Amino acid sequence: MEKFEQALKEQPFSGKPLGYEFFREKKFDGKRLIFLVYSEHQVVFLVTIVEKKVQQQAIDMIKLSLDAYKELIERIIKDSKSL
Q: Which residues of 40-72 are buried (b: 16+ CB within 10 A; e: fewer)?
A: eeeebbebbebeeeebeebbeebeeeeeeebee
Collapsed DSSP state (helix, strand, coil) of residue 22? coil
Average pLDDT over residues 64-75: 97
The CATH fold assigned to 2-81 is YaeB-like fold (3.30.2310)
Q: How confident is the model at residue 82 (pLDDT cuts 50, 70, 90)?
A: confident
Q: With contact defined as beta carbons under 8 Å apart, do 58 and 50 qualify?
A: yes
Whether 83 has a pLDDT exceeding 80, the answer reads: no
Q: Which amino acid is at 31?
A: K
> What are the sequence ranges of the domains in the chain?
2-81
Average pLDDT over residues 70-74: 96
Average pLDDT over residues 66-79: 96
- Of 39, 34, 41, 31, nearest in space to 63 by CA: 34
Encode pLDDT of 4-62 as tens digits: 888 998 999 999 999 999 999 999 889 999 999 999 999 999 999 999 999 999 999 99
